[in-house]
A and B are shown apart, each in its own frame.
Chain A
Amino acid sequence: MKLNCKINGEFREAEGVWEGESLLYVLRERLDLPGSKNACEQGECGSCSVYMDGTLVCSCLVLAGQAEGRDIVTVEGLADEDELHPVQESFVEAGAVQCGFCTPGLIVATHDLLERNAEPSDAEIREALAGNLCRCTGYEKILDAVKLAAGKNGKGAS
């Protein structure tokens, strides 16, 4: 089948999509957007998190056909090519990245959290990110990164 949707602000088309493919597969294997990651492919780890019409979803759980005509934003779409979004900057600065496989999903999920709640408490951060597994960091520096990003946002960054 043919799939049309808006991805990171551009209209994109994918041809020859098998009906059983997930949005994650189409992004990664057909549209050259491998930033969203394939760690569990069953909605448990959050590594494939993207926005669909402004809602945070696991792209592995979205059938490609369900994305028809939708507005998708992936980790690649959060900042211009040579720029970093404050959330991305904070993850690097805080040391919240090790192997980095969970990172794109956490970046999108944190972006979503801070859109909804500019100054989340420790418990609110933990609740919002409980669907994102990280195997390397023990999460402490991820908490630091989210707090750092919230502070940067508070200072009027984008």
Chain B
Amino acid sequence: MKSESAPTRERPIIPASNPGRIGESRPRADGVPKVKGEFEYSSDLWMDGMLWGATLRSPHPHANIWSIDATEAEGMPGVHAVLTHEDVPGRKVYGMEVPDQPVLAWEHVRYEGEPIAIVAADHPETARRALEKIAVDYEVLDPVTDPEEALKEDTPKLHLSGNVLKEVHIKHGDVNATAEVVVSGEYEIGMQDQAFLGPESGMAVPDGRGGVDLYISTQWLHIDRDQIAESLDLPPEDVRLTLSGVGGAFGGREDLSMQLHSCMLALDTGRPVKMMYNREESFYGHVHRHPCKMEYEHGADKEGNLVYVNARLVFDGGAYASSSNAVCLNAGTFACGPYNVPNAKIDSFMLYTNNPPCGAMRGFGAVQVCFAHETQMDKLAKELGMNPLELRIKNAMKPGDKFPFGQTVPEPAPVAEILERVKNMPMPEEEEIMGRDLRRLPGGVSNVTHGEGVKRGVGYAVGYKNIGFSAGFDDYSTASITLSVEDGEPLIRVHTAAAEVGQGGITLQAQISRTELGVEKVAVLPADTRIGSAGSTSASRQSYVTGGAVKMACEAVKEKVFEKVREEFGENGELSMEDGGVSAGDRRIVSLADLLDGDEIEETVVYRHKPTYPLDENGQGDAHFQFAFAAHRAVVEVDEELGLVRVVEIATAQDVGKVMNPQSLEGQIQGGVAQGLGLALLEEIQMKDGKVQNASFTDYLLPTIFDMPPVRMEVLELADPDAPYGLKGVGEPPTISSTPAIVAALRDATGRELNRVPVKPERLAGIEEEPVRRAPQPGSCGPVAERSES
């Protein structure tokens, strides 16, 4: 029975505040509700009469589905709906770049955890029990789990298009160049998880007229809206999304998770439906960072000038496309690092496998290759007998050089300068190792060393990445600014669809408005699809693109205000908006309260950065519009016997173009470094035969406050002439080169090769890859049995 009413809910509005101007550190507007526990996250949503949704997922990474029988589940008390692929009203697949992922699986499942059926019930436990009663007849198939295997001709094809999802080939200069000094290596990155703390969750509310309102945590409302509308077979205007409180994202919320499922259940039952993954399900419910194997060869002359770089990159895209195309392109274009490389041949492959789909995570594509090219630079320095920092400075790219993908390196590109900065920053004080507080030693309170066997090491790395969406993508944002007077005081209302995921975007939007219009009180309205798209909160792009849109909308409002002043006061000189009024020089002409006289001025604009272009068949083209650079120095202490690590300090220098909010900027740098540290030392989704082995925070290790050292930072403000205020995106660079810097420091301390991250303690302690299997000793329980699979 469909509901007649339209029970929509209003998202709580963060109260108007004085956000300060750009360049000032101001506490975030949502800080107070967040510390009081009053901020409404998507998992906090609750409505009278709501039902709970749950998802049946495949236990097999690769199988045929012969039948799905939901009869028993449907008959259970408290169960209101059980839906399968047959109930998807519109397009049965979705995807941001390639619509290849089933909304609910039919005939095949291609990864462990793939959704097959959904249930709505009156209690989450009832829903879970109903899932157990859905009978699915599988024919289990051998999974394709190795991307190199997937690449072979005779391997079964997982999609009609074949197993190669994307390939990028870059040919730069003489691809057959030779050199006097050559180093090569093979490198590998494990599968990292975004591990945002707020689980995938949201609530879908049917409007009683066939449409639906969805309150959701996501990174990009409009791309969700478009995919949902397509699969629900509804016009986009009947699918309205409002951003709910987002508990972190880091790329993991770009793809749909429970959005479509909750909408289907809500439309079917006529009731609000809440869905909320638990942590285990979250590991199956979002994409991860791509694992990658990389073969590199660097050639240089005897003075240390790079002659060529050859690289072959093989990415595991997992079962579905997600944003793999962009990752493959990024990795190809950044494979050589921020160096002037006259000749290069880069082959970047993205493969479908039966592993979990991989997609966006902070720094995608750049993170993987940075670990490899920076390890290669250290190797080359060793071969040449040069200081690794000097080798990097010598080869640092400069404005006017050519990237290997043919684009000219734009101003500013301060690679040598940031390297000099980390070189010259003071080193952390040497602290006597023996007799220290245990909490300041590797292994900490585990009481494993009192200083014996602890060695110190120092390592450096530098990396870079594009900001925003590239290669011809129409990357824009929309902003609306309304200027009014309330209770005698001017007020700016800012409306965009930009997702605040924790980064501080709403504070920045308010700061820009306050700065442009000289009005102290600013309210940022909830992000929703009533306004045009803001694009994704990813690729470090929102400060630039939505920041640019807000600035442009303010300028449009300002122009309207000035027109009015010119008309009413006959002013022809230069005008400015300050202190809630309009002035000509030092002469105040009118207050906004008097000028507006109860009216509002509203302007909505669309902002675009300069265009980008796809790469040609040789991997050449002006693919990117902005580049951000950071360098890192890591100091570590390693317990050589147990392979335990304490990172003592990370020092970093980063060019940000313009500091918009110092406190937020520091938070981005510190938080980004922490995720780089996690990849270096701890974080990996461990896979075995296509199955995730550690889908919990007990087994997937994240950096704690014990693991994270102080971050010493120097920030450069070299304006990008094309960007609003000259700013550069800042979110990703801290994650890119922090990982290789830490691993370089580990090598410095231990002398070991360490070609794979995360670096396991076994590798640091020099233990062989496979533990030696010995015959069981009398009285022992024998070798550990393989985990039996059902």
Contact = CB atoms under 8 A, between A and B. Distances in A.
Contacts of B38: 35, 76
Contacts of A89: 35
Interface string B503-538: 110000000000000000000000000000000000
Contacts of A40: 279, 696-697
Contacts of B671: 98, 135-138
A130 B674 contact: no
Interface in B237-268: 245-250
Interface stretch (B3-11, B39-47, B575-583, B749-757): B39-47
A150 interface: no
A74 B37 CA distance: 9
B125 interface: yes
Given A99-B198, A99-B502, A138-B671, A88 B125 contact: no
Interface string A49-63: 000000000000000
A65 interface: no
A74 B198 CA distance: 18
Given A92-B31, A101-B248, A41 B278 contact: yes
Contacts of B196: 99, 101, 135
Given A93-B27, A123-B437, A103 B708 contact: no
Interface in B154-196: 194-196
Interface of A: 18, 20, 28-29, 32-42, 44-45, 47, 74-76, 79, 84, 88-89, 91-93, 95, 97-104, 107, 123, 125-127, 129-143
B66 interface: no
A69 to B, nearest CB: 24
Given A75-B37, A88-B36, A130 B502 contact: no
A45 B278 CA distance: 13
Contacts of B43: 34, 37-38
Interface in B289-341: none
A34 B44 CA distance: 6
Contact of A130 (B276, B664, B704): B704
A131 B199 CA distance: 19
Nearest to A131: B704
Give the contact-size bracket for chain B. Answer: 35 or more
A141 B37 contact: no
A29 B201 CA distance: 14
A120 B503 CA distance: 29
A39 B247 contact: yes
Given A18-B123, A39-B197, A99-B502, A44 B667 contact: no
A120 B294 CA distance: 46
Contact of A44 (B245, B669, B672, B698): B698
Contact of A36 (B37, B39, B123, B703): B37
B681 interface: no
A92 B697 contact: no
B248 A76 contact: no
Contact of A136 (B44, B667, B697): B667
Contacts of A74: 37
B681 to A, nearest CB: 14
Contact of B439 (A29, A39, A123): A123
B199 A91 contact: no
B238 to A, nearest CB: 29
B386 interface: no
17 contacts: A28-B44, A76-B37, A84-B36, A91-B31, A95-B666, A98-B503, A99-B196, A99-B197, A99-B246, A99-B502, A101-B198, A101-B247, A135-B248, A136-B671, A138-B674, A139-B705, A139-B708
Contacts of B703: 139
B684 to A, nearest CB: 16
Given A95-B666, A99-B248, A127 B445 contact: yes
B81 interface: no
B696 A100 contact: no
B630 interface: no
Interface in B452-504: 501-504
A79 to B, nearest CB: 7
B37 A104 contact: yes
B355 interface: no
B32 interface: yes
Residue of B31, B437, B697 with highest tally of chain A CB at under 10 A: B31
